[in-house]
Amino acid sequence: MPTTILVSACLLGIHCRYDGTAKADVRVKDYLFRKGLIPIPVCPEQLGGLPTPRLPCRFTVGSGREVLAGAGEVVTRDGRTVTQSFLNGARETLEIAGQCGCRLALLKERSPSCGVRQCYRGEVLSTGMGVAAALLSEHGIRVFSEEELAELDRFLDKTGT
Ligand code: SF4
């Protein structure tokens, strides 16, 4: 059975970022092709009902894990709370992972949805996951950022995937 992997759609060249652009990463595409992984593109912010383009968003309190625990908040640049949209998008993303049998995810670092190790709290780059990354991780899906292809490679080798 081929292995499926959730991938942030912007990394695959989909124009779903807040400013209507993509963040196509040729290293990611080459890696997926070389390893025979089947990418399942997802944009949690679009899946949560946010428009494209949209205002950029930041955490005011906490990060993804705190949002899941009801103790964090995501706002737009002009201060509008969008926490529920982020939660909705994370849940839709998890649903797609289940439907497609994904146990792995390769996500865009520093996004308030997809960030794996870092995200912005206010204007400050901080340690913490995005909301979708945190939810996937809490459900046993191994999440890696596009900056962690070597770590993903070691994981695939170790698990014989
Ligand atoms: S939510 Fe994720 S997939 Fe969508 S634009 Fe942001 S980083 Fe890319």
Measured CA to CA in angstroms, residue 111 lies from 3, 30, 57, 147, 153 at distances of 25, 22, 9, 13, 22
pLDDT at residue 8, rounded to an integer: 98
pLDDT at 91 over 80: yes
Report whether the peptide linkage leading into residue 41 is cis, meaning its omega lies within 30 degrees of zero.
Answer: no
Q: What is the per-residue pLDDT for 125?
A: 97
High-pLDDT (> 70) share of the chain, %: 100
**Boundaries of every domain in the chain:** 4-159
Can you tell me which atom of ligand 1 is nearest the CA of 41? 3
Ligand 1 pocket test, pick from 43, 67, 85, 96 with the greatest ligand atom count within 8 Å of Cβ, gives 43
Q: To 10 degrees, the CA torsion angle through 61, 65, 68, 72?
A: 0
Query: Is any atom of ligand 1 closer than 6 Å to the C-beta of 108?
Result: yes
Supply the pLDDT for residue 161: 80
Say yes or no: CB of residue 72 within 6 Å of ligand 1: no
Instruction: Tell me, in angstroms, the distance from the centre of ligand 1 to residue 74's CA.
Output: 15
Whether the Cβ atoms of residue 119 and residue 132 lie closer than 8 Å to each other: no
For residues 131-159, average pLDDT: 98
Q: Name the residue among 120, 52, 122 with its Cα closest to residue 85.
A: 52
Interhelix angle 83-100/131-138, nearest 10 degrees: 40
Our answer on whether the CB atom of 45 is closer than 6 Å to any ligand 1 atom is yes
Q: Which of 88, 113, 145, 146 to mutate to test the pocket of ligand 1 (most atoms within 8 A of CB)?
A: 113
**Across the beta sheet with 73-76, what order do the strands follow?**
73-76, 57-61, 118-121, 124-127
Q: What pLDDT band is residue 1 in, cutting at 50, 70 and 90?
A: confident
Work out the number of other CB atoms within 10 angstroms of the CB of residue 120. 18
**Predicted structure pTM score:** 0.97
Residue 160's pLDDT is 84
Per residue in 67-81, pLDDT (tens digit) is: 999 999 999 999 999
Distance between CA 159 and CA 153 in Å, rounded? Answer: 10
pLDDT 10s digits, 118-130: 999 999 999 999 9
Q: Residue 103: what pLDDT?
A: 98
If you average pLDDT over residues 108-114, what whole number do you get? 98
Tokens found for residue 45: 């912010």
